[in-house]
Amino acid sequence: MKLLVAFIALLCLSFWSTRNVAWPTQNTIQLAHFHHLHLNTTDPEQAIKFYTSKFECETGQFLDQPAVWAQQSWLLFNKVKAAPSWQLTSAIWHFGWGAEDMKAVYQKQLESGTKFFTPLTDISDILGGTGTGRFFYAYVETPDHGLVELNTANNHRFGHLHLFSDDPVAAGEWYGTHFGIPRRNSSRETRIYRDVQIAPSSSLLMDNVNIIIYPIQYSKKVYASHWSEGQTAISSTKGRVVDHIAFSVDDLSETMRRLKSEGVRIVEPVKVTGKLKHAFIEGPDAILIELVEGRAQKETGS
């Protein structure tokens, strides 16, 4: 039942985002683009086969390393000796793909042996009324215990990243201020839905990726068993199933100078690894963010 509440809450935010859009008061220039998600796994080859067989994406090469290309951005994999932490206590909750016909997609996934963290669920009445059969969701559990959402959409592509935050509105403003990411929605009003806090909240659109930010109180209620005794702070994403997210910029050195002057915490300064010029910063709620020079490209992986 708690997981049902979790997913209903996710749809609530999508609904409010389209009804109560809070646009910036002035135009801003988008200073970064979505580049990749970097995952930790004990078996990169198995992970790549999993994603490319279950979702709309394809194998590729990023800097001569096997990777997954998902329409406009990458999934990259780091091999680790031990299974990475997966408990939902960090800023990264899950990411997901759409599906035009969720019932058919779900059945096909079942037939291929997909393990579901949450089965197919109809929440059509989330928008009001008593209709059924219009909106479904399900959570896939990856081999490394990560979560990937499939939900009814007008496409079947990679399309969203869902985060947790101590202050979702401030987190959304941080991404807008430092990277010019367009804001879709921002609400400071506390909302309780079926005894679970789902707001304050924020939603931003970065290229084709909808970034949704929920209050960490949600996780502490729904996933209480994931929090160790006495733990109150959000865990760093580093070393977890989804280790970090990455944005691309046109001029990395200038971007890092600007971010430093703006008080952003620099984790690793600019360095060149092979053909890759990159750096690391810390975003809101201990989320690790890699900055890469040059847009994500399928042909060159740059």
Question: Over the stretch 278-288, which tens digit does the pLDDT of each residue have?
Answer: 999 999 999 99
Give the pLDDT score at 157: 97
Rounded CA separation 115/230 (Å): 32
Q: Angle at the Cα of 109 (from 105 to 113), degrees rounded to 5?
A: 170
Residue 229 tokens read as: 């005794």
Rounded CA separation 117/148 (Å): 9
Pair 250, 292: CB distance under 8 Å: no
Give the pLDDT score at 13: 43
Burial bucket for residue 48 (CB in 10 Å: 0-12, 13-18, 19+): buried
Residue 164 tokens read as: 């947790």
> How many CB atoms neighbour CB 225 within 10 A?
8
Helical spans, DSSP H, in the chain:
2-19, 44-54, 102-111, 168-179, 216-222, 252-261
Pair 135, 124: CB distance under 8 Å: yes
Give the pLDDT score at 124: 77
Domains contained in the chain, CATH given: 2-293 (3.10.180.10)
Low-confidence ranges of the chain (pLDDT < 50): 1-26, 301-302
First to last CA, the chain: 44
Nearest to 214 by CA among 30, 8, 4: 8
Nearest to 284 by CA among 210, 194, 216, 225: 216
Burial bucket for residue 19 (CB in 10 Å: 0-12, 13-18, 19+): exposed
Contacts of residues 166-171 at CB distance under 8 Å and 24 or more positions apart, as own/partner, are: 166/215, 166/216, 166/234, 166/284, 166/285, 167/200, 167/284, 168/199, 168/200, 168/201, 168/202, 168/213, 168/214, 168/215, 169/200, 169/201, 169/202, 170/284, 171/202, 171/213, 171/283, 171/284, 171/285
Question: What's the DSSP call for residue 237?
Answer: S
Full-prediction pTM beyond 0.85?
yes
pLDDT tens string 110-167: 999 999 998 998 877 555 566 788 889 899 999 999 999 999 999 999 999 999 999 9
Write out the E strands in 123-157.
136-141, 147-152
